[in-house]
Amino acid sequence: MKNRRLFPALVLILVATIMAVTGFMLWESGNTANLRQIHVIIENSNDNRWVQFIEGMKQAAEDQEVILTIVPTGHMETLSEEEAIIERAIANGSDGLIIQLCSSIDAASMLEKLNSRTNIELVDENAYEVMSNVVGVVSPDHKAIGETIANEAALFAEKPLEKCTIGVIRGSSALSSMEQRMDGFTEALESLGGKTTWVLEQNGDAKDIKEKLAANETPDILVALDNAGLEAAGEYASSQEKDITVIGTGTSTKSIYYLDCGIVQSLVVPEDYMMGYQSVSDLADYIHRNRFLPLVRTIAHRTIHKDTLFAEENQEILFPVQR
């Protein structure tokens, strides 16, 4: 009797296991066949400053087997403009978004709203006091960058800081990252005895910043707190007869060129390659696991002078081979 029951039980168990394994394999193959898609929304996507960042993202996309789509964008004035682009990306079947905010104001509510619909990774913005529980963040330490720039200014100043006129070109005040850089710079500068003479806010319009620079006193030290500002500062300094010490942060070839030419004395370079690589890796990981555990990551930055520009350890980061 026992034997009579044993055989059907054994067959039943085997059939159940076969069905379970087949089901799992079908589910798995369905998952593999549909490669996940990540959309990247960054301001001025074709800008040379993103070269390292995009290379990092491409490598991570290859490693994580996801499709990377960099949405072509220009200058985004308002958050609603950016939101419209995000909505299009979601409508196109995006499994995850990598976003660089054009404004931090009201960004938290927008991100919270979007987060229920897709996974979001925020880059170049570390306003994680309000967002870290909603989205993943990969960003440089903006305050530390500001402090480094101030220290570099002190290092390259040809006279004591307190006697120097210091001009600052900063990015949009709507961005909390820029506020942090400014705070870091101002605090460090003051601690070193310096004081900003004037501060210009550039909004992406090259002509406008040129006019603003011309309208101000020619400084001894010109500080740029973002890449666009540094390019403007380099151009301005190269056109001036007076020797201006230019310090700033940037990643574009133009910024590097100004350092190579000796127009810029010190360049603080965030490791954008790592920012790109890490953001895609984290987001792909979230998507593949089907659960979102927001991580806040801070990437490092390097200080590069003319003599270390072509050092072996900096070449790969500053001049990534574009594929």
Partner 1 sequence: MEFDRENPEKVNSGSSKWIGQTIEKAGRRGIQFTVLVSFTVVSVFIMVLLGFSLYQRFTLRTRAMMTESMEQLMSQTEANFEDYLTSMRRVSDAMYYDTIKDKDMALDSLDSEMSLLYEANKDNLISFALFKRDGSLVCAAPVSTMKEGMDVRLQPWFKMAMERPENLHFSTPHVQNIFNASSFRYYWVISLSRIVELTYSGVPVRGVLLVDMNYNTIEEMMDRVNGSNSYQYFYLCDSNGELIYHPRMIQIGVEKYKENNLAASDYEDGLHEEIFEGERRMVVVKTISYTGWKLVGVIPMSGFRLGTVSTQFFTFLVLLVTILALLLINRLVTNRITSPILRLNRSIQNMDGGRVDPDKVYIGGPAEVENLGRSMQGSLRQVNELMDDVVREQEERRRTELDALQSQINPHFLYNTLDSIVWMIEDERNADAVFMVTQLASLFRVSLSKGRTVISIRDEFVHALNYMNIQKVRYKDAFEVSWDIQEEILDYCTVKLILQPILENAIYYGVDALGDEGEIVVSGRKEGDDILMSVRDNGLGMPQEKVDQILSDEEHEERTHRHGSGVGLINVHKRIMLRFGPRYGLSIESEPDEGTEVTIRIPAVPYTEKNRKALEHGKWTGEVQNEK
Point out which residues bind partner 1 (CB under 8 A).
Answer: 3, 6-7, 10-11, 14-15, 17-18, 21-22, 24-25, 28-29, 32, 48, 55-56, 59, 253-254, 256-257, 260-262, 271, 273-274, 277, 309-310, 312-313, 315-321, 323
What's the closest the beta carbon of residue 191 comes to partner 1, in angstroms?
31
Task: List the alpha helices (DSSP H) in the chain.
Answer: 2-33, 51-64, 79-91, 107-115, 128-131, 142-156, 176-191, 206-215, 227-239, 253-261, 272-289, 312-318
Residue closer to partner 1, measured from CB, 178 or 237:
237
- The residues pairing with 138 across neighbouring beta strands, listed in sequence order, are 123, 297
What's the closest the beta carbon of residue 256 comes to partner 1, in angstroms?
7
What's the closest the beta carbon of residue 31 comes to partner 1, in angstroms?
10
HSE toward the beta carbon, residue 31, CA cutoff 13 A:
10
Q: Which helix H or strand E contains 246, and what residues bound it? A: strand 245-249
What's the closest the beta carbon of residue 61 comes to partner 1, in angstroms?
14
The residue among 202, 203, 177 whose CA lies nearest residue 301 is 177
What's the closest the beta carbon of residue 285 comes to partner 1, in angstroms?
15
Residue closer to partner 1, measured from CB, 212 or 302:
302
CB atoms within 10 A of CB 48: 16
In angstroms, the CA 125 to CA 286 distance is 20
Residue closer to partner 1, measured from CB, 94 or 139:
139
Report residue 194 as tokens: 């310096």
Residue closer to partner 1, measured from CB, 191 or 315:
315
Residue closer to partner 1, measured from CB, 6 or 35:
6
